[in-house]
Amino acid sequence: MSTIGLIGSGLIGSTVARLAVAAGHEVVLSNRRGPETLSDLVAELGPQARAATPAEAAQAGDITVVTIPLHAYRTVPVAALYGKVVIDTNNYYPERDGHIAELDTETTTTSELLQAHLPASRIVKTMNNIFYAHLGNLARPSGDPARSVLALAGDDAAAKQTVTVFLDSIGYDALDAGPLAEGWRFQRDTAAYSDPYFSEGHSLATTVRGADPGPGRPATANTMRAALAAAKRYRDM
Ligand SMILES: NC(=O)c1ccc[n+]([C@@H]2O[C@H](COP(=O)([O-])OP(=O)(O)OC[C@H]3O[C@@H](n4cnc5c(N)ncnc54)[C@H](OP(=O)(O)O)[C@@H]3O)[C@@H](O)[C@H]2O)c1
């Protein structure tokens, strides 16, 4: 079992923490406002969970999950993550994050920005393209016919293998989408973004307007592979 550091403990961070604890891992949660604001979540998660500062969570994590609004990525502790495997769930929403020129011009991708901020860490992009409630609902044991796949991208094969083993432990198969530079294939507004996990009659667009997201539906490797292959750059849309 591993220790999972969480930098960000909101909708996605808390969902990953719940799945990790259920799988037997320890979690160290952190957020912007301070560990004392995470006492309810720690109490819910029980003795495998504690709250700390982002630097402490990063230090403690065998794997650390960065799951914060993208605009805050430069605050992620660098030294504490030296050499470590870092999962990046972040997405770019200019209306929330402000405009980031390199992303607007598509000269880089969100996870490559985080990699540039953490040059000695090994970033793996995953879990960014699934609605948090579906991430919680769709986890299934290995071999279950209703098990879903999660795409991942990264430049370090060993880090991708580490994350594949972690995803397996929390209830998901992994599908390698290539290096970090290919991460745009499952960024927002692509066919691979959220839709593969929404069941008939539900969508991210209606969910953000307040509709029920539904229970989600399993996404197979073939579904995700086809969605990744169909991805278009913004400039080609
Ligand atoms: N929601 C989804 O379904 C979903 C799905 C996939 C990917 N994502 C992406 O994943 C990221 C997290 O999304 P979310 O929905 O979980 O966000 P959220 O619910 O708003 O939670 C954000 C978390 O990040 C923390 N945070 C903010 N600034 C921080 C900083 N500088 N250092 C440490 N922690 C900080 C917040 O702490 P405070 O509460 O103290 O401010 C909070 O715990 C976003 O980039 C989002 O686009 C979201």
Dump pLDDT digits (tens) for 34-74.
999 999 999 999 999 999 999 999 999 999 999 999 999 99
pTM above 0.95, yes or no: yes
Protein residue whose Cα sits closest to atom 38 of ligand 1: 32
**Token digits for 200?**
């008939």
pLDDT at 219: 98
Q: Is 221 exposed, middle or buried (0-12, 13-18, 19+ CB in 10 A)?
A: middle
Residue in 16, 39, 67 to alter for ligand 1 test, most ligand atoms within 8 A of Cβ: 67
Domains, the chain: 69-236 (3.40.50.720)
Protein residue whose Cα sits closest to atom 41 of ligand 1: 32
Tell whether the model's pLDDT for residue 171 goes beyond 90: yes
Q: What is the 145 CA–ligand 1 centroid distance (Å)? A: 31
Mean pLDDT, residues 87-110 taken together: 97
Q: What is the 7 CA–ligand 1 centroid distance (Å)? A: 9
Q: What's the rounded Cα separation, in Å, for the pair 216 and 226?
A: 19
Q: What's the rounded Cα separation, in Å, for the pair 139 and 142?
A: 9
Is ligand 1 within 6 A of the CB of residue 193?
no
Q: What's the rounded Cα separation, in Å, for the pair 65 and 7?
A: 6
Atom of ligand 1 nearest to the CA of 32: 40
User: What per-residue string of b and e applies to 5-38 under the rule 16 or more CB within 10 Å gives b?
Assistant: bbbbbeebbbbbbbbbbebebbbbbbbeeebeeb
Is ligand 1 within 6 A of the CB of residue 194?
no
Predicted confidence (pLDDT) per residue in 106-161, tens digit: 999 999 999 999 999 999 999 999 999 999 999 999 999 999 999 999 999 999 99
**With bands split at pLDDT 50, 70 and 90, how would you rate the model's confidence at 180?**
very high
Tell me what percent of the residues of the chain surpass a pLDDT of 90: 97
User: Are residues 177 and 185 in contact, defined by beta-carbon separation less than 8 angstroms?
Assistant: yes
Q: What's the rounded Cα separation, in Å, for the pair 154 and 100?
A: 21
Tell whether the model's pLDDT for residue 235 goes beyond 90: no
- The dihedral formed by the CA atoms of 211, 216, 219 and 224, expressed in degrees to the nearest 10: 20
Q: What is the 82 CA–ligand 1 centroid distance (Å)? A: 22
Mean pLDDT, residues 193-209 taken together: 96
Protein residue whose Cα sits closest to atom 32 of ligand 1: 32
pLDDT at 190: 96
Is ligand 1 within 6 A of the CB of residue 7?
yes
Q: What is the DSSP letter of 90?
A: -
Largest CA distance in the chain: 50
**With bands split at pLDDT 50, 70 and 90, how would you rate the model's confidence at 234?**
confident
